[in-house]
Amino acid sequence: MTASAEKFTHQTLLEVTPLTPSLFTLRTTRDPGFRFQAGQFARLGVTKADGSVVWRAYSMVSSPHDEFLEFFSIVVPDGEFTSELSRLCEGDTLLVDRQAFGYLTLDRFVDGRDLWLLSTGTGVAPFLSILQDFEVWEKFERIILVYSAREVQELAYQTLIAGLAERDYLAEHAHKLLYLPTVTREHHPGALTGRITQLIENGELEQAAGLAISPEHSRVMICGNPQMIDDTRALLKGRDMRLSLSRKPGQVAVENYW
């Protein structure tokens, strides 16, 4: 099969940056033909020593208008894919499926005033792409990014998040963003303490945001740990908020990472 007929392209790693022993970010070249919507994911492939290729889904952190692709990865102990991925260095090759996938995109919502982006761990990735794209800033009046990790040192992209307000194209909208980091295993000034579900149940999240979560005004995207997603969906269901489907628009969109 010729390279152009293959379902994937070969991209080169431009940067690999460790954050903690189990978290790192990576940046690759981008095929000019690779198109995606903010919030979608790519299928990445690594070649193992025996020549076989392992594929996994990875949300783009970078925006659709960046010339590169950026990803944020966990290292799963003995994980088939991440053991290989975490060994790669600058200049190495990563396979990227030609097509992007996923429905954690803004077109899931036909209306809404406040957008809540609820993430655990690497689940913040699609929200960083969404926040670097212009559409969200025009579409919503308030955007609340909630990013949960065990410890503060595991919160990635703090400089990127803090710098969004400085971007020229966002200047007049920057006041719309409220960033609420939360940590579960320590107390830290500047971060809420506890799981996202606890913070919804005890009212702390809405208090910190100064906004209520309601079916009328709120649209909620949830990404990361499947248990957190299930539990949060159950809490939102109790408030009459449901998954948004193409045939039946709702208030909630989710992406499970495993």
Q: Which of 79, 194, 215, 249 binds ligand FAD (CB under 6 A)?
A: 79
- Contacting ligand FAD within 31-60 (CB under 6 A): 41, 56-59
DSSP state of 172: G
Query: What radius of gyration, in Å, describes the C-alpha atoms of the chain?
Result: 18
DSSP state of 101: B
Nearer to ligand FAD, 80 or 90 (CB): 80
Q: Which of 6, 15, 80, 240 binds ligand FAD (CB under 6 A)?
A: 80
Please state, in angstroms and as integers, the Cα–Cα distance from residue 44 to each residue in 51, 82, 125, 227, following that order: 16, 11, 15, 24
Answer for the pair 72, 122: CB distance below 8 angstroms, yes or no: yes
Instruction: State the sign of the Cα–Cα–Cα–Cα dihedral 31, 34, 39, 43.
Output: negative
Rounded least distance, CB 78 to ligand FAD, Å: 8
Told to check if 62 binds ligand FAD by CB under 6 A, we report no
Nearer to ligand FAD, 81 or 157 (CB): 81
Hey, what are 29's tokens? 């070249």
Nearer to ligand FAD, 149 or 199 (CB): 149
Rounded least distance, CB 55 to ligand FAD, Å: 9
Told to check if 21 binds ligand FAD by CB under 6 A, we report no
Nearer to ligand FAD, 74 or 165 (CB): 74
DSSP characters for 191-227?
SEES-HHHHHHTSHHHHHHT----TTTEEEEEEE-HH
Residue span binding ligand FAD (CB under 6 A) among the ranges 73-81, 108-116, 138-146, 179-187: 73-81
In the sheet that 23-29 helps form, which strands lie side by side, from edge to edge?
53-59, 41-47, 93-97, 8-20, 23-29, 68-74
Told to check if 147 binds ligand FAD by CB under 6 A, we report no
Task: Considering only the C-alpha atoms of the chain, give the largest distance between any 2 of them, rounded to a whole number of Å.
Answer: 57
Told to check if 137 binds ligand FAD by CB under 6 A, we report no
Nearer to ligand FAD, 29 or 129 (CB): 129
- Cα 204–Cα 209–Cα 214 angle in degrees, nearest 5: 85
Told to check if 72 binds ligand FAD by CB under 6 A, we report yes
Alpha carbon 158 to its chain centroid, in Å, reads 14
Nearer to ligand FAD, 184 or 214 (CB): 184
Told to check if 73 binds ligand FAD by CB under 6 A, we report yes
Nearer to ligand FAD, 29 or 119 (CB): 119
Using CB under 6 A as the criterion, which residues of the chain lie in contact with ligand FAD when the complex forms?
A: 41, 56-59, 71-74, 76, 79-82, 102, 121-122, 125, 255, 257-258
